[in-house]
């Protein structure tokens, strides 16, 4: 390929990327535990119940179920992340899954975004977890869902993960107030 054509293609790609206004959620947290244990927290039923939610439905394989039930006793459609699936697995490195919108936003409840988690061992007993969620639509309901999950990941899920490894598994009958819980 001629250099001028390569430059033209690269310029077009850069222009397209620069003009892309795709929004996303990008959060990161350091957990005081080894990557194997942090991975297990996200990828086993026992682990999920220890920090994420009191219930789940997990079939840990590509295209398997990855449902997180914040309200396990609720009616179908009211339990939490239902119908969500695992997209890709790289053991102890990356987990990708679909994620739907909360029941409180019925117009887009059954539309899905994508969540990608990356795990990086910082030491034998510290792991960085990076969370990236994309695939947001446009409009008032999508804006509401984006605001909801921007807060949920940052102020609820990831702090619960840290709490789980500093203090212990979450007691869902008496959950801690993470905003005031001492985890230092």
Could you tell me the residue ranges of all domains in the chain? 22-166
pLDDT in tens, the chain (184 residues): 554 444 334 434 444 444 567 999 999 999 999 999 999 999 999 999 999 999 999 999 999 999 999 999 999 999 999 999 999 999 999 999 999 999 999 999 999 999 999 999 999 999 999 999 999 999 999 999 999 999 999 999 999 999 999 999 999 999 998 865 544 4
pTM value is 0.85
CA-to-CA distance for 179 and 29, rounded, in angstroms? 15
Q: What is the pLDDT of residue 177?
A: 85
Query: Which two structure tokens, joined as six digits, stand for 132?
Result: 């990236």
| CA separation for the pair 43, 60 (Å, rounded) | 7
CA torsion through residues 72, 41, 92, 155, sign? positive
Does the domain at 22-166 match CATH 1.10.8.60? Answer given as no
């Amino acid at each position: 390929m001629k250099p001028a054509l390569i430059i033209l293609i690269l310029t077009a790609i850069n222009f397209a990327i620069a003009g892309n206004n795709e929004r996303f959620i990008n959060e990161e947290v350091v957990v005081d535990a080894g990557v194997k244990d942090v991975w297990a927290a996200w990828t086993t039923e026992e682990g999920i119940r220890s920090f994420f939610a009191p219930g789940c439905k997990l079939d840990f394989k590509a295209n398997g179920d990855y449902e997180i039930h914040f309200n396990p006793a609720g009616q179908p459609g009211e339990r939490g992340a239902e119908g969500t699936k695992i997209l890709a697995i790289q053991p102890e490195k990356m987990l990708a899954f679909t994620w739907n919108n909360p029941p409180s936003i019925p117009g887009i409840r059954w539309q899905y975004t994508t969540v990608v988690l990356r795990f990086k061992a910082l030491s034998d007993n510290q792991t960085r977890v990076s969370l990236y969620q994309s695939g947001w639509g446009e409009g008032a309901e999508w804006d509401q869902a984006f605001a909801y999950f921007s807060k949920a990941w940052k102020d609820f899920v990831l702090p619960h993960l840290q709490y789980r490894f500093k203090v212990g598994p979450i007691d869902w009958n008496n959950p801690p107030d993470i905003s005031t819980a001492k985890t230092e």
